[in-house]
Every structure is written in structure tokens, then in C-alpha cells.
Structure 1
Amino acid sequence: MTTFLGPDFLLNTSEAQRLYHDVAADLPIIDYHNHLPPAEIAQDQHWDNLGQLWLGHDHYKWRVMRWAGIPEDRITAPASDRQKFDAFAEAMPRLAMNPVHHWSHLELWRYFGLEGTILSPETADEVWDHVNAMLPNKEFGARGLLRRMNVQFIGTTDDPLDDLAHHRHLQDDPDLTVAPSFRPDRAFQIESEGFVAYIQSLGESTGAEIHSFDRLAGALLQRLDHFVAHGCRAADHGIELLDCGAEYPASKLDEVLRRRLSGAAVDADDAAALRAALFVTLGRAYAARGIVMQLHIGPLRNNRSGLLGRVGRDAGADSMNDFAIASPLNALLDRLDRTDELPAMVLYSVNPAHNAVLATTAGNFQDGSRPGKIQAGTAWWFNDQLDGMERQMNDLAQMGLISTFLGMLTDSRSFLSFTRHEYFRRLLCRMIGQWHADGLLPDDKTALDEMVRDISYRNAASWFLR
């Protein structure tokens, strides 16, 4: 009899069970893209209660709570931590088959020893008291929670203006590598209301008045070098609208930038050209410095203006967009490849309809310099559930090489989210075990073991550990 999230959860063949329990389960975790606050790691943050720890950053949970009929004043403010937790427990029985239902129970079970307990209003007191009694202990601070899941590498997400003081504090840790990732999105948001103020702040931080494209590029590269000095291994670009503007000469780029910095609007063609020039300039810089470039493509953000005003960004009102990406993505990568300055790159789209586009685009730009130099990245955001991850891996396996895949990441703000690596590894072993059972893979246990180790850990370790 199969039990809910039992020892053989998802492992439907004997080979899947062997691969997971003997090979994948105990491998360290390389989480190369997340949104954990570096300050909380550096200061070894402790939390007063489970509501604060579990619900404070997690807009995945906020979103499903609203869907379950929980009013906003019991999700964000002004409810107390206990009231928010009780609201989540009330919602939990309605979350069947949403990944939050699986993740949440794995989090309670793996971190706090509550195996078999199902969260509901009837068990809320038991769970609250049990976890809260454990939280004051040293091993349940931020660092202890990471150690508990065998996390070896953390790639945080950081604005170029961040001083990285907390990363500096973390650089000497022998057991955990916490690396900043360069996230220059605001320099690309040329039409946005805050662009001019952001560029002024960038100039102040680098001691240079920015009045030309070269000055803007130079300021960003100065900040990039500051990140590299603090252990940066990756850059990350959040791309809400992917375009590839015309290749303007420097004089025209200067004219567009000066016009925008004066407070005037610029048209879509000029903004696209300036964005493309920044993309190419930074891409070349990443290649020269050995920095992995990640592209997160396609969310439609902050769609509910009332919630944005009340709660702020990243509150659970983002969704998939459906614009075409194949032509501009290939054109941007080609501009970098023409001069042999294309960095190692990971491509993600929030829209699963783009899985095949990413896999076939990645195949266009492999150059033999490293296995899978251009990656069709893991199923992202709304897709990091079982069907979404399986679709993404099947597309990658059949249109590219799954053997070179970098595997899972959390993309999370929660210190309890690392059970998502278990979720992924179980599914991976299920898929490989089923391919083996169906005669699609040779009966070579060593080769199967190596594939699982590579996808679960070693491929990412070779990219991000130095």
C-alpha cells in the first residue's frame, strides 16, 4: 500500500527506489538561484514561531490561501503570526495536489520530525507547539536549517547597488558557500518611473556622473567587479518582455540615454536598442569573468494593483505571460556568439509552452567548450510541480541532453524550501527508473547511478563550486 509522501513516494519501480535511496537521497544541495536574505544567513537568524518562519516570505503560500477563501487580513496584515498560521492550517485540506500541499508536509516532516502528521485545524495546536519548542535551539537558526538539508552552495539574488557586507562576512565559512548573484534588472527597465533615480544612484555609488552609454556600462562593470571580489559566480536577469532592438552606434545610444535621463520618454524601438546593447555588453563581461548568465523570462508581474499598494511586490499576484520569445532570444545570443563572447547561460521561461523553444535554442549555441554550455533550465515558478518538471525534463532529454542538466533550484525566500530538491530527485529517479523498465535505457547500473549523481549534484557543482 502506498502511503501519503511515504518512503517510496513517487518511486514506482524497484530501480527508481534503488536510485533514490542509494544514490540521490544523501547528495549535497547546490542551490544556485534563490532569494534568501543574506543578512539572515550571516546573522544566523532565529525565528520566534513557525508562523513567522513559514509564512513571512512565502508568496506561494499566500496565493493558495487566498484561493482557499482566506481573507487578506489573515494572510499578511494585521493578523498575528498565530492567526496567519491557523489560517494556513485551515486552508491546507483544500490544497490537494497543489505542490504547496506536498512541500509543506515535507517541510514539517524533514525539518521538525513530524512524519505522518497532516496539518489541519485539528492538528494546528500540536504542530505549533512542537515546532515552536524547537526553534530556540541553535540548530534551528538559519545556518542550522541549511546544514540540516546538507546545503553546500547558496546563490542569492542581489542588486548591483548592494554593498555585499553580509556576503563579506560569509566568505570564510568552510562548510557553506554563499555567493551573490548580480541582478541588474532596474538598469534595463528604461521606460519605468524609477529608472532615472536608479541610474543617478548607480552613478553616486561608483563616483561617476552617468551621461553616456559608456559611462553607464562602466558603472555596471565596476559593480560587477565588486561582486566578483565577493565570490559572485552568476548573474541573473529577470526579463518581463524579451526584445532585441536594432544595433545602434554609440552616438545614438548616448542620445537615447541622455533623453531618458532628462526625464523625457523614449519610444519602444529606442528602449529596445538600449536594452540590447546593455545585454550584449554585460554578456561579454560575464564571459570574460567566468560568470554564468541566467535569464528568467516571461512573468507578468503585479497584476493586482490593490494588492500591490497594500502588500507590495512579490505578494502572489504574478502570472505567466504569453509573448513569443524564440526570435529575440536567438538574436541576442547570436550577437554574443558572433565574437565568441557568449557566456555559459541558463535559460528559464515561466510559460511551459516555451520548453521546446528553450531546449532547441540551447542546442543552437553549444560550442564544445563545456558540456551543456547553454542550459534549458529547470521548470520554473508555476512549473516546479510534478507534471511541469516531468514535461521540462522529457523535452530536454529528447531535444537536447538531459545528462548535462544542472537540475533543481528553489527560487525561494524560505529557509524551509530545500525539500524541493528531494521532490525533484524523487521525480528524476522515477523517470529514469521508468525509462529503464521500459527498455529505453541499457541495464547498466553504474551508468544510471552516474546520471542521477550528475543531474542531482555534480553538474551544478562543476559550474558553481570553485
Structure 2
Amino acid sequence: MKKDTFITDNFLLQNTYAERLYRQYAEKQPIIDYHNHLPPKDIAEDRNFENITQVWLAGDHYKWRAMRTMGVDEKYITGNASDKEKFMAWAKTVPHTLRNPLYHWTHLELKRYFGIDELLNEESAERIYEEVNKQLQLPENSCRGLLKKMNVETLCTTEDPTDTLEYHKKLADSDFSIRVSTAFRPDKSIFIESETYNNYLEQLGKVANVSINSYDDLKKALRSRIEYFHANGCRLCDHGLNYISFEDYSADEINEIFKKKIVGKNLTDLEAEKFHTAILLYLSETYHEFGWVQQFHLGALRNNNKRMLKELGPDTGWDSIADYSQAENLSSFLDALDGKDKLTKTILYNLNPADNEIFASMIGNFNDGSIKGKVQFGSGWWFLDQKDGIIKQLNALSNMGLVSCFIGMLTDSRSFLSYPRHEYFRRVLCNLFGEEIEKGELPEDLELVGKTIADISYHNAKEYFDF
């Protein structure tokens, strides 16, 4: 195939210091992907995808948003067009993604997984489609093969408390060399204002073998599922919240709010906030008891386009950055847990770059010396997992905390082709440090700086999660 890609050996590495840091301390480190949305069924069954559309475009709302912006009809995005037609529509879009991280990721992924050095565009689309599809039929390019190719050591998917963990059990009993764990995601039990909340309680009660007729029953059911997840290797939870709720409440109030909901009465906003506070504190205290790491993804404004939400459902590309007030409630929540000595290891992810310094400074309030990097400012997330967002997160953390304790990158992705994002992050990281060495802002001591690079790339996460 024609070779005209810009993904060279020194891609994103702007000087010799950056190159040496990357080659010697980052490039060959294994990947610990402690948060993603990969389907465990595909890993357990070692699926071979029929074509690149299925592995690359399905579920990828980053690409979907770009295609819509270019005027691509929904038929070729989430509709009933053929897989080949959808790929061709994406290929035609790619040249117009210049300066969007999609342009980098697209070509990095084509090169790392399939050895393709050609730029993807309308002219090259047919060749690339056929070549990748041919390679995807090879045994080494099954789901497990794709993970091994990227040197993944551990990955954690994300499951609801009602999940049976059937495929995680199969993986645990298999000879697959990569550790596949999960993160407990109980958000549906928190959002009591949801129209489908009572239906969810019925589902949760069935799997927990608990009739949920009271708030105490709900706590009993959640604890039962935490015990079940723990017995099956889970050591993390994850929450996708707009912000941390924190309102004063009494036990009687929470019981009455819960009763009001299950008989079908509407709740006030304040009642919902009180309930969110109570259940989240209960869950976090339970996570501490089990020694889990808790993760909070904060700051998204979801489902903005109600017309398209009704047509396509959630997580289809209609979300954006929010401007919620974060600091005071987050502080009160962490302080309430810390005051009882029940604050477990915690990772806070921020989606609004205007709040980076709030998060970077907040973690220092609760790093109490008991554990290295106990409370973490998580990596650039969602709209911020691109070069500029990564650098801003690293700078805020460096300026207000210790970037040397940072646990590094994750994919937060539904795609098996997303693992070069770890390489992308490591290259940006090495270049940031390399440029400061060149400017004399850091010592020309590659062993000293390189240890920090290696720790952020791999060792800190290995220690933090005790994998």
C-alpha cells in the first residue's frame, strides 16, 4: 500500500529528550486500562469481527458526531446502510477532521493494528476496507489478539449491579493471559427521579434475591451485589454523575422519600438531591469496607437533543461539557467520608477544563499520607482526552499536586481499536517533559525524569490498584 502517513516513529515527540524518554521509559510499558466499556462477551468468546465497521465505527459517538457535522445522513451512521457504506461515509469524513484528535487516532490505529501507512480518505477507502477486513479474519486479530497486540496487561470493563458477570467468570476460568475485571456502576440505583426507577428496583431485587420495599431493602440489595462482584474479582466502582450531591438529611426523610417514589408520587428536586447524597455516602462507605477504588466521572451535560434521544437513545453522541458548580459539594462529600475514616482510594475525573484547578487542588485536601496518591485527579476524560486536554490536566496536577504520583491514562472506550490512545498519551507526556528539559526547566537527568515517566505510564497504576 501507498505510504504517506504522518505517523512516524517520532510522532508528537519534538526533541531528542522527548524521543529518549519515550523509547527508554514509556513505549514498552504494559497497559493497565482500569476503565473502559468493552463488551466482556466479545472477549470471552474471542470474537473475530467481520469487518472494520463493526470493530471501529459501531458505538463510537466521537466519529458519529464528526460525520453528522459533515452532513452525513443518519442512515450511514446508526441507520440501516450496509457496513461498507458506513465505512465509506467515515472515510470521506476523515480528511475534514484535521486538528481534531480523531485524525490522529484514526491513522495511529490503522498503523498499529494493521500496518497501514496510507492516509484514509475517499480515494483510499476501498483499498483500506478490503485490506483490514482480510486481516480481521486472521486468528491473531480476534478480540483477544487485538488486546495482546497492544501489550494490555489488565483491563476493567463496566457493569451494572444487575449483571450476572457470566463472561467475566468464563474469562477467569480460561487460560487468557490478560486479566479482565470489572467496575461496579450502580448509577441507576441512585437516580431516584428517573421514570424507570421502580422498574429497575424490580430487576435489582430479583438478582439480589431481595424484595425491595424500603430504603433498607435497597441498601441490602446493593450490598449483596457488591459482595457478589467482589467474590468475582471486582475491586473498583465507577459513577457517571453530573456533580456530587450533598444535602443534609435525616434517616426518616430518606425512608419517606423512598416510600413516596415506590408508590408513584413525584419527588421535588431537593428530595432527589437528599436521596442522592444518602445512597452515595452509603455506597462509598461500603466501598471502603471492601477496599475498593471509587471513581467519579463528573461534569457532563447529557442528552441535550431530546428529539434524537427519543429516536436513538442515550450514548449516541448528543452530550457536551456542563458548567455545574463542583467544588463545595465535592468537598463536603469527601469530608463526610474522611471524618468517619471511610474514604477509600478515589479518582475524580473532570469534564470542564475551567474546573481543572478545582479538582487538582481538591485532591490535596484528602491525601492524608496513608496511601501514595490516595485521591487522584483522573486523566483527561471524554472531550478532554486529546492533546490539549491531556496537557492541561497534567499542568494543573503538576502545579498543584504531584504529577509523579499520577496513575495515568485509560481508554474509557467501547472499541477494541482504542488502545493506541495509551501510546498517544505517553507521547504527549514525554514531549511535555522533554520540552522542559530542553528549556532548562527540568534537569538533564533522564534517569530521574524517566522514572516519573515510567511510573505515570505503568507502575503507579500497578501499585494503586494492586494488580
Confirm or deny a common fold (TM above 0.5). Answer: yes
Between the two proteins, what is the percent identity of the paired residues? 44
Q: The residue matched to 2:91 in structure 1 has which SS?
A: helix
Q: Taking structure 2 as the reference length, what is the TM-score of the superposition?
A: 0.97
Deviation at residue 441 of structure 1 after TM alignment = 2.0
Instruction: State whether residues 245 and 270 of structure 1, in contact with CA within 8 Å, keep that contact through their aligned partners in structure 2.
Output: no
C-alpha deviation, 1:465, in angstroms: 4.2
Match 1:70 to one of 57, 72, 75: 72
CA distance in 1, matches of 2:74, 2:348: 34
What is the identity, as a one-letter code, of the residue corresponding to 1:398? N
Structure 2 counterpart of 1:153, which letter?
A: T
Are residue 428 (structure 1) and residue 433 (structure 2) matched? no
Deviation at 1:442, TM superposition (A): 2.4
Q: 1:3 to 1:89 in 2, by over 3 A?
A: closer
Matches of 2:314 and 2:305 in 1, distance apart?
10
The count of corresponding residues between Structure 1 and Structure 2 is 463
Q: Does 1:266 align with 2:267?
A: yes
Contact map agreement 2:214 2:259 (CA 8 A) in 1: yes
Counterpart contact for 1:33–1:410, Cα < 8 Å: yes
1:57: how far off?
A: 1.8
Please say if 1:371 is aligned against 2:372.
yes
> 1:3 touches 1:9 (CA, 8 Å); kept in 2?
no
2:318 is the counterpart of 1:317: yes
| Residues 193, 241 of structure 1: alpha-carbon distance in 2 compared, 3 angstrom cutoff | farther
Residue 108 of structure 1 corresponds to 110
Matched residue SS, 1:265: coil
CA RMSD across the alignment: 1.3
Report how far residue 211 of structure 1 moved. 2.5
Range with bigger deviation, 44-53 or 93-102 = 44-53
2:379–2:410: 8 Å Cα contact kept in structure 1? Answer: yes
- Map 1:291-330 onto structure 2 (within 5 A): 291-330=292-331
- 2:166 matched to 1:162? no
Cα distance, 1:3 vs structure 2: 7.4
Deviations 1:281-317 (A, max 9, x none): 1111111111100000121111112222332221111
**1:41 matched residue in structure 2:** 43
SS of the aligned residue for 1:153 comes to: strand
Partners of 1:246 and 1:272 within 8 A in 2 = no
- Uncovered stretches (5+) of structure 2, i.e. residues with no partner: none
SS at match of 2:158: coil
Residue 399 of structure 2 corresponds to residue 398 of structure 1 = yes
SS at match of 1:156: strand
| Distance of 1:118 and 1:444 partners within structure 2 | 38
The aligned residue for residue 87 of structure 1 is 89
Give the counterpart letter for 2:51 in structure 1.
N
Tell me the CA shift for residue 136 of structure 1.
Answer: 1.0
Q: State the partner residue of 1:183.
A: 185
Does the 8 Å CA contact 2:5/2:107 hold for their aligned counterparts? Answer: no
Deviation sequence 1:435-456 (CA, Å, 0-9, x none):
2222222232211111011000
Matches within 5 A, 1:399-414: 399-414=400-415
- SS in structure 2 at match of 1:220: helix
1:319-398 correspondence to structure 2 within 5 Å:
319-398=320-399
Q: CA deviation at 1:6?
A: 1.5
Q: Name the aligned partner's letter for residue 254 of structure 1.
A: N
The one-character-per-residue Cα deviations of 1:383-402 (angstroms, maximum 9, x if unpaired) are: 11111110010000000110
Distance 2:102 2:466 in 1: 30
Stretch of structure 1 that moved more, 203-212 or 357-366:
203-212
CA distance, structure 2, for counterparts of residue 442 and residue 94 of structure 1: 40
Letter in 1 for 2:122: P
Counterpart code for 1:402: V
CA distance in 2, matches of 1:74, 1:214: 48
**SS at the partner of 1:286?**
helix
Render the CA deviation track for 1:11-65: whole Å, top value 9, x for unaligned. Answer: 1121110011122111110000000001011111111111121111211111111
Displacement of 1:265 after TM fit? 1.2
SS of structure 2 residue aligned to 1:375: strand
Aligned mates of 1:382, 1:440 — CA distance in 2: 30
Deviation at 1:251, TM superposition (A): 2.2
